[in-house]
């Protein structure tokens, strides 16, 4: 099946946002010749964004390890023997000090992650203080805390939260191979609570977990079907951590990852597509292709929760060589 063609009278800018992408259509996009796929993705990208601007965010783990979930990729699961020691929730002022440093380094959004299945209300009060403090610095705020109830989402909105991150991780049918302690519907319910509270949604997935291309198409179909589509879509490349069930998984080919970025851009034209975990293992050339394919957001800083990230100087050199500026 051929991917739907772009006609002269139906430019990327005028084409409506679609929430009805089928897996067959998305699979056809994946199958396009590489140059054709990137041209189409870049055309869509330019219709909605400045192609030379990239949003920069910083991610801080405010509570590390000890999570009761059994996510097969995660070093923070108490069920995975990775040698990571659990920590308590950070103090508010310590978090704000990191936020100030991130802002000074050029980050425009500050993301805070806690390894919980779901937050307790007393802990949520502390997180809300963090959100209020980061907002007072003039930065966008994002948190990822696990599952939320509707009242908890409202509480975060009242604190001024801009974005809530809650990834779908993979396609519905592959999900059981990765996680058994939380259902796919649990994730969709949390997204509904977040959207209902008026908070922007940050929702993406992880590729390279042994899933097929068809299953990657299923993930993108699921993300694109959210109405409205997520404002931010992080695409993570699995970082294999010793002691996790997915350590030793066959690595995803770099150009297949680039294809995934391009297809996500086409299907979610107005979303920020974030080049997330796994960048440390990518060459500058692969990252450049990802930006060409429509990625326009990255995490800035040397650490993503518990895994590595490119050093600030390397990112700055890459931006300079590509003529990119931080948004």
Tell me: the pLDDT tens digits for 254-297? 999 999 999 999 999 999 999 988 888 899 999 999 999 999 99
Q: Of 109, 111, 128, 187, which is the active-site residue?
A: 111
CA 237, CA 194: separation in Å to the nearest integer? 25
The whole-number pLDDT of residue 116 equals 86
- Decide if 34 contacts 259 (C-beta within 8 A): yes
Q: Is 142 a catalytic residue?
A: yes
CA 117, CA 166: separation in Å to the nearest integer? 11
Tokens describing residue 51: 């192609």
- Beta carbons within 8 Å of 84's beta carbon, 6+ residues apart: 64, 65, 75, 76, 306
The whole-number pLDDT of residue 7 equals 43
**Selection from 188, 271, 204 nearest residue 236 by Cα:** 204
Q: Of 67, 128, 203, 267, which is the active-site residue?
A: 67
Residue position matching structure tokens 């649990």 = 186
Q: Of 74, 128, 203, 267, which is the active-site residue?
A: 74
Q: Is 67 a catalytic residue?
A: yes
Whether the predicted model's global pTM rises above the 0.85 cut: yes
Q: Longest C-alpha distance within the chain, in Å? A: 58
Which residues of the chain register pLDDT less than 70?
1-15, 66, 77-84, 301-310
Q: Of 40, 109, 128, 142, which is the active-site residue?
A: 142
The whole-number pLDDT of residue 66 equals 67
Q: Is 74 a catalytic residue?
A: yes
Helix ranges (H only) for the chain are 23-30, 34-48, 92-104, 121-136, 150-159, 184-196, 213-225, 254-267, 284-292, 312-322
Reduce the DSSP state of residue 306 to 3 states and report it: coil
Q: Is 202 a catalytic residue?
A: yes
Q: Of 216, 259, 274, 279, which is the active-site residue?
A: 274
Q: Of 40, 187, 195, 202, which is the active-site residue?
A: 202
CA 142, CA 53: separation in Å to the nearest integer? 20
The whole-number pLDDT of residue 197 equals 98
């Amino acid at each position: 099946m051929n991917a739907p063609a772009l006609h002269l009278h139906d430019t990327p800018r005028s084409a409506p946002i679609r929430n009805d992408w089928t897996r067959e259509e998305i699979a056809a996009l994946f199958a396009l010749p590489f140059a054709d796929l990137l041209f189409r993705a870049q055309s869509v990208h330019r219709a909605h964004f400045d192609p030379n601007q990239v949003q920069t965010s910083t991610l801080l783990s405010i509570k590390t390890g000890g999570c009761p979930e059994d996510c097969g990729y995660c070093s923070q699961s108490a069920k995975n023997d990775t040698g990571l020691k659990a920590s308590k929730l950070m103090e508010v002022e310590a978090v704000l000090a990191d936020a100030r440093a991130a802002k000074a380094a050029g980050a425009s959004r500050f993301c805070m992650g806690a390894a919980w299945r779901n937050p307790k209300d007393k802990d949520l009060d502390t997180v809300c203080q963090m959100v209020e403090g980061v907002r007072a610095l003039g930065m966008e705020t994002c948190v990822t805390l696990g599952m939320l109830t509707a009242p908890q989402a409202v509480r975060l909105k009242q604190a001024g939260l801009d974005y809530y991150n809650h990834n779908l991780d993979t396609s519905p049918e592959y999900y059981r191979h990765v996680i058994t302690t939380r259902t796919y519907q649990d994730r969709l319910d949390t997204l509904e609570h977040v959207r209902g509270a008026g908070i922007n949604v940050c929702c993406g997935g992880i590729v390279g977990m042994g899933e097929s291309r068809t299953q990657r198409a299923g993930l993108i179909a699921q993300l694109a079907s959210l109405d409205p589509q997520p404002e931010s879509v992080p695409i993570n490349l699995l970082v294999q951590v010793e002691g996790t069930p997915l350590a030793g998984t066959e690595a995803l080919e770099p150009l297949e990852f680039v294809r995934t970025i391009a297809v996500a851009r086409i299907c979610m034209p107005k979303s920020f597509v974030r080049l997330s975990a796994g960048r440390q293992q990518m060459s500058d050339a692969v990252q450049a292709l990802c930006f060409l394919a429509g990625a326009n957001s990255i995490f800035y800083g040397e650490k993503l929760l518990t895994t590595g990230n490119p050093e600030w100087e390397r990112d700055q050199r890459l931006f300079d060589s590509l003529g990119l500026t931080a948004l």
